[in-house]
Structure 1
């Protein structure tokens, strides 16, 4: 039975927190919407619109986009244990950064902390930390921007620090201290384009065309990135558009692969699962190979770096990237059907 005694914000925080606690990862929009529908008779978009972005937000409008709680959101949801672990890790990051001095005065040097260093620090205090708890720490460091770049897989990740990302928190001792500093750092006026208000949930076509130059993109690519672009989140918008390209390739090919392997196996002109044109002609084979290489390039040079590093994109760079993504998406969606006799 739907729970009518819970506010939309509390319900949203509760659903996302539960998944995060259990899995160490953020739930998808599809999952959160299903739970809100069945347990609370609520619409996710309505709940997100009413919720402060300082607590909870979605990385995009696609079903596979993540719904994320900030540290403030986790604290509001009552997750004091994970938040306290984040504060401890932040204090170690600050201490490491303040004590860091490059070995060569004439060269730049990066300060990197391994996941194992965090785990060892807790172990020295008699605290054991599970793999899921380490996943949660990485997710919180990423969400809060406490890094210059962060990469690696599983429990072998590495965070690269810089002074700008941690120095503002040099006096933080408690959750309240952190939230006060974080609130002050996000209270500066936004650039004019960020002050545009969206009527309902959709980006107006005149705003898309005038401010973002996205009007000619395929609808699903535009929907994935437009609102994020409007609010200045250009890297995340490109990432969401790249997810659309991945999903289009998967759906059209029937493959459950990712990245370079997905593009190569789906579009390889020698034995394609997705046929883009007449492969009996040199032009058709050339185009098939070209689209494959563009897709592989997007995964390697755009999607992967943005997923693992904190990269600041200019609006023009982001538009160029989504234009390449749109090229692949349109080519695949206008494809010929694979002949039944093909392997």
Structure 2
């Protein structure tokens, strides 16, 4: 379709600029007559055909009736060329609601966020996730990234070092893979998101900060949905 309207517009331009002999101009007008039904169908489908001329009532060559189509062909060409971009603008994807993030995240980040402190909001949310994980496992000896390394470890729990299990069973290969993925996520979030949020000084772009809050929300749901496993107590 794009080639058809582009060629039709080019033919009109050639005729209007007299780019050719009289015979070539005549052939071009005949070409317009031949191609007009197809081009009109394309223009109509793109809502770019405001009128249809009557070639039989035209004083000169009937093909001259279609010379006014050039601007509409150019608009149609643009629509066809950029149709994917146009569709993405006219039909935006789903939006992310910050207030529906995990409560650990939004309850701690909301007031800072609403005051425009996006980086600090992310830092606060990460801090609450760390504190909630400590409380869940009874671990106050480590925090933040080191806590995630210890808590979500694939190692068996020991006395004073409870683990968080997200896999239903560690006996299967898929269970261990799930636990490994959880460990990678937890450590990655604190290394890549929490640390810069806490130690940087500049403000963060709102969209990027919101995406980081969403990632923290994924982690919070994973932790809250896991189960704490304590190691055997040593007997003296």
Deviation of 1:333 after TM superposition, in Å, equals 0.9
Per the alignment, do residues 211 and 226 of structure 1 end up closer, same or farther by CA in structure 2, a change over 3 Å counting? farther
Deviation of 1:282 after TM superposition, in Å, equals 2.1
The one of 286, 306, 313 equivalent to 2:204 is: 313
The one of 226, 242, 261 equivalent to 2:110 is: 226
TM-score, structure 2 as length reference: 0.51
1:302 alignment partner, SS class: helix
Superimposed CA distance per residue, residues 244-277 of structure 1 (whole angstroms, 9 cap, x where no aligned partner): 1101221122222123221111110122511112
TM-score, structure 1 as length reference: 0.36
The one of 253, 267, 271 equivalent to 2:156 is: 271
Superimposed CA distance per residue, residues 25-77 of structure 1 (whole angstroms, 9 cap, x where no aligned partner): xxxxxxxxxxxxxxxxxxxxxxxxxxxxxxxxxxxxxxxxxxxxxxxxxxxxx
| Equivalence for 2:53 | none
Q: Does 1:246 align with 2:130?
A: yes
CA distance in 2, matches of 1:334, 1:294: 15
CA distance in 1, matches of 2:205, 2:110: 15
Superimposed CA distance per residue, residues 159-178 of structure 1 (whole angstroms, 9 cap, x where no aligned partner): xxxxxxxxxxxxxxxxxxxx
Gaps of 5+ in 1: 1-209
Larger Rg: 2
Deviation of 1:211 after TM superposition, in Å, equals 9.3
CA distance in 1, matches of 2:103, 2:223: 14
User: Structure 2 matches for 1:31-110, cutoff 5 A?
Assistant: none
1:274 alignment partner, SS class: strand
> Do 1:295 and 1:325's aligned partners in 2 also have CA atoms closer than 8 Å?
no
> Do 2:109 and 2:121's aligned partners in 1 also have CA atoms closer than 8 Å?
yes
CA distance in 2, matches of 1:222, 1:216: 8
Query: In angstroms, what is the RMSD of aligned CA positions?
Result: 2.5
Deviation of 1:337 after TM superposition, in Å, equals 4.2
CA distance in 1, matches of 2:194, 2:206: 16
Q: Does 1:335 align with 2:219?
A: no
CA distance in 2, matches of 1:308, 1:337: 30
Per the alignment, do residues 212 and 236 of structure 1 end up closer, same or farther by CA in structure 2, a change over 3 Å counting? farther
CA distance in 1, matches of 2:95, 2:165: 36
Q: Does 1:260 align with 2:151?
A: no
CA distance in 1, matches of 2:227, 2:199: 35
| Equivalence for 2:183 | 292
2:165 alignment partner, SS class: coil
> Do 1:260 and 1:299's aligned partners in 2 also have CA atoms closer than 8 Å?
yes
Superimposed CA distance per residue, residues 111-143 of structure 1 (whole angstroms, 9 cap, x where no aligned partner): xxxxxxxxxxxxxxxxxxxxxxxxxxxxxxxxx
Deviation of 1:306 after TM superposition, in Å, equals 2.1
Deviation of 1:283 after TM superposition, in Å, equals 2.2
Whichever structure has more helix as a proportion of its residues is 2
CA distance in 2, matches of 1:300, 1:336: 23
| Equivalence for 1:282 | 173
> Do 1:276 and 1:334's aligned partners in 2 also have CA atoms closer than 8 Å?
yes
